[in-house]
Structure 1
């Protein structure tokens, strides 16, 4: 039997505790060996829940002493670069959240370090793994080349709530930018974008029209001046149209007049209550472990997702 991967964690904030700790804990071939966190309350919380045998307050000490196989470094982009590079240079495979850096230069630094040290760095773009997205891609691939990919992401962030260390496009809307690029299956050849400030002094409304090098069209529709949160998209080929809400719903229209309405949990073969098993989070973590074992590039490795962040910067008008 193959020895389990030894996992270490840097950071125990809300995102880590809600999405990453519980799903890594579900993987039978991973042991959660060590954790590093400066906040004592957060540290005590995860140690009590997951029984970490080794606890640290400095990540360099953890890297040297615990010698993990993989490090889940889940930190705000404002502080992530240093610890991420330390992990990579120590020869560790790394999972990081989106955005993978505070700007394109930092993302490229992480990419270059991963290549130089021959490690995988998976970025938390779990929407690629969502059941409704994968089914949409399977249906369009069977129906011919992709003609159009659409990403839709609405929230309400007005006033100072729309601010932050980076823009809402860079730190959140990047999810659907990556998803659209992935679904389109090409690289951007031409980008036309608009951004505005609505009810805020910060950019909070974005629209983009993208021509990809395979002739697919991409559309980004993202506003933080809406009544509530919605996340979804569309994917089209000549014979099929897919309209989905992540993670739950997929409507399929085919050129023979058929319409199918599918549920995300049914596509994944799980219970509706187990949202992590069909929203992409669990599959993303399982996929990363499989790629480490097979030495295969993960779907959202930094070598690929650097291009998504370059597209984000182009939409922002920075590239």
Structure 2
């Protein structure tokens, strides 16, 4: 973690040719968007091993603004209904278009993906928008970011996202997922009632290895909400919007949501996710959408931004 804050200066000095063409995140921006306890440790000169140990010693799960463990136990099983009975994967199939589901529902994703297994995290901003749901159309929505890796044929991933459900309109549930935390994979951390603003999120995996794996932390608005271990130091990455409807059935219209201003942790650097990063990768940013279902996406770099914005909607 420490290297993320100090290495960019080396890149700007031209000492590392591999990163000379990357859009390195300014150290002041990294500091602004890093959880405060990490910044405090950095300011004390703590080593990466010491910072990893601090992450390991944090509570495994934290809640936001009065949300409690009892709230999580009450609501999480209900929120998981949209993914129950699914052989769910953050990678999907080769064309990442649709998943047919045993539960009588279909999930269709739209978003952007990086398949290079070289990223140790991502920090971005998400704007949910209305995320409309209905019992007769788009029943559930997940606006989510995944970091993971296939080890053999087995998916391993962590994620943070916002979910809406047809049975509780106007609520936006902040959740995390860790498919290695058996019995406690899904955790709900908060119930928002405002989707009309930007929220900051982060996923980060340390490269310090423990017997249990590599420590990770996930934060929302600068608060660390989940820690744990994953069996990888680097993984694939996506920012994706998932929609669920009955099968047979059809989606109803969904307003535009977007994720933007994201930087990734790559090769020890904070790097803006844009075309300069893509130029360094064997598998640059890939867009998934399904026009047959009316599920669309678009990614582009606004003139006022350092990074891509990914818009997703149904019409």
Judge same fold: TM > 0.5, yes or no: no
- Which structure shows the bigger proportion of residues in helix conformation? 1
Output the TM-score relative to the length of structure 2. Answer: 0.29
- Which structure shows the bigger proportion of residues in strand conformation? 2
Output the TM-score relative to the length of structure 1. Answer: 0.29
Bigger radius of gyration: 1
| Greater RCO structure (CA 8 Å; 6+ sep) | 2
